[in-house]
Amino acid sequence: MPKDPALQHLLAESGPLIAPSANPEGEPPAATIEDARNYFGDQVDLYLDGGTREGSPSTLMSMDEQGAVVVLRAGR
């Protein structure tokens, strides 16, 4: 769940959003809308300019075939 009130409002109106990180694998997270546009171009339907963002990568988890949780990337 995002901490940004505007994004919380958007999700309350639109419903759940499934999205990867704001960066391609191995690249640093996008800090600005320009960074995001450079990474994803026309693949994204809507960009919201919230100014420069700072944050740490989130933790990504999955489940293996036996149902065990596997940490794919540990956040900070």
Q: How far apart are CA 76 and CA 74, in angstroms?
A: 7
Q: What is the pLDDT of residues 34-75, one digit of tens each?
A: 999 999 999 988 888 888 877 666 777 899 999 999 998 887
CA-to-CA distance for 5 and 3, rounded, in angstroms? 6
Reported as a single tens digit per residue, the pLDDT across 62-71 is: 999 999 999 9
Q: How confident is the model at residue 20 (pLDDT cuts 50, 70, 90)?
A: low
Q: In angstroms, what CA-CA distances link 17 with 7, 12, 13, 65?
A: 11, 10, 11, 25
- Rounded CA separation 51/61 (Å): 29
What is the residue range of 53's domain? 5-73
pTM of the predicted protein model: 0.59
Residue 28 — pLDDT band, cuts 50, 70, 90?
confident
Number of domains within the chain? 1
